[in-house]
A and B are shown apart, each in its own frame.
Chain A
Amino acid sequence: MHWMFSCKDVSQLVSESMDHGLPFYQRVLMRLHLLMCKYCSRCKEQFETIRAASCHDELNGKELDASRALSNDGKERLKKFLENHLADTD
């Protein structure tokens, strides 16, 4: 890798920095590049948005439609299903 990172290098490093710590010099050069390149910054923002959307910790159930619920029949079916499988595993 050249001392001056290309956009391709930086997109890889941004992704890697989300998975493990980068060496100091890579971190510094990546940040410098990000300061100067709006497309790499956008790529970083997009990766972060995808992470935020995927992260289960943020799920609090508030976004779900509370008026929808399993029907009584559906609940009975599921209970029966669990009972049968529990009987098999016990």
Chain B
Amino acid sequence: MSKSKSDAAIIDHPESWVDHYGDFLYRFALSRVKDPAVAEDLVQETFLAALRARENFKGRSAGRTWLIAIMKHKIVDYIRKKIREPSTDKIETLTDMLDSDFNDHGKWQIRPLKWAINPGKIYEQKEFLDVLYHCLAELPQRLAEAFVLREMDGLSTAEVCKVLDITATNSWVMLYRARMSLRHCLENKWLGAEQ
């Protein structure tokens, strides 16, 4: 039996999810939220969302990858609730912040720093990943949704547009703002950048 077939078989039997995926999901959640009780809650919420969406699992990805993608949304939701100040409607503030990056001639005013990080070894940079999740949670909700769908779930922009009911041009603008905002946030909160 191939790996994806066996995955599809497991996803068809939710009663076996805890044994097959429980520890892996729990470890992933713990790597992001630190608190064991919260990590367990996140596993539960992930299973619940997966239960509701299991018709959509077509075996294109491994079951584990599918569940992790669901869990990433749950983690961002959890952090957003925890920081209690969701910047959901702060698009204007964000636009001002992005505009201040450039002068009237479109030249950098706040210059990007050099990041001391190797993208190939990104998973060794736990602190970077922690900050990235926090920065994501601080994004206006629609921008965070567009970003998570595109970059974490790996959807095409056409699929992102369908899910969020937006035009292609709109999706490119939203993704640009999300990336610029994450770049800013990471430079402010993560200590790996140098002049």
| B partners with A | yes
User: CB distance B176 to A12 under 8 Å?
Assistant: yes
**Considering the complex, which residues of chain A in the window 28-78 have a beta carbon less than 8 Å from any beta carbon of chain B?**
39-40, 42-43, 45-59, 61-66, 68-70, 74-75, 77-78
User: CB distance A78 to B22 under 8 Å?
Assistant: yes
Question: Chain A residues near B92 (CB, 8 Å)?
Answer: none
Question: Chain B residues near A75 (CB, 8 Å)?
Answer: 18-19, 22
User: CB distance B150 to A6 under 8 Å?
Assistant: no
In the complex, A61 Cα to B28 Cα: how many Å? Answer: 8
| Shortest distance from the beta carbon of A2 to any chain B beta carbon, whole Å | 9
User: CB distance B23 to A70 under 8 Å?
Assistant: yes
Question: Chain A residues near B122 (CB, 8 Å)?
Answer: 49, 52-53, 58
* Count of interface residues, chain B, beta-carbon cutoff 8 Å: 64
Within 8 Å of chain A (Cβ to Cβ): is B7?
Answer: no
Question: Chain A residues near B51 (CB, 8 Å)?
Answer: 82, 85-86, 89
Known: A7-B106, A39-B111. A79 touches B117 (CB 8 A): no
Which of A45, A47, A62, A82 interacts with B123 by CB under 8 Å? A62
Within 8 Å of chain A (Cβ to Cβ): is B175?
Answer: yes
Known: A54-B132, A64-B27, A65-B30. A43 touches B183 (CB 8 A): yes
User: CB distance B14 to A86 under 8 Å?
Assistant: yes
Majority-rule SS of B interface residues: helix
Please tell me the size bucket of the interface on A: 35 or more
In the complex, A12 Cα to B102 Cα: how many Å? Answer: 12
User: CB distance B168 to A45 under 8 Å?
Assistant: no
In the complex, A57 Cα to B65 Cα: how many Å? Answer: 8
Interface centre among A48, A53, A85, A86, by most chain B C-beta atoms within 10 angstroms, is A53
User: CB distance B113 to A42 under 8 Å?
Assistant: yes
Question: Chain B residues near A65 (CB, 8 Å)?
Answer: 27, 30-31
User: CB distance A66 to B132 under 8 Å?
Assistant: no
User: CB distance B18 to A7 under 8 Å?
Assistant: no
User: CB distance A68 to B30 under 8 Å?
Assistant: yes
Q: Can you report 17 residue pairs joining A to B where beta carbons are below 8 Å apart?
A: A7-B102, A11-B101, A42-B114, A45-B115, A45-B119, A53-B125, A54-B147, A56-B72, A58-B122, A61-B28, A68-B27, A68-B30, A77-B44, A78-B18, A78-B22, A82-B51, A83-B15
Which residues of A are in contact with B by a Cβ distance under 8 Å? 6-9, 11-12, 15-16, 18-20, 39-40, 42-43, 45-59, 61-66, 68-70, 74-75, 77-79, 81-83, 85-86, 89
What 6 A-B pairs come out closest when comparing CB atoms? A6-B106, A8-B106, A54-B151, A63-B123, A15-B176, A42-B112
**Other CB < 8 Å A-B pairs besides A56-B68, A56-B152, 16 of them?**
A6-B106, A11-B180, A15-B176, A20-B172, A39-B111, A39-B112, A40-B108, A43-B112, A50-B183, A54-B148, A56-B69, A64-B27, A64-B31, A70-B22, A78-B44, A82-B18
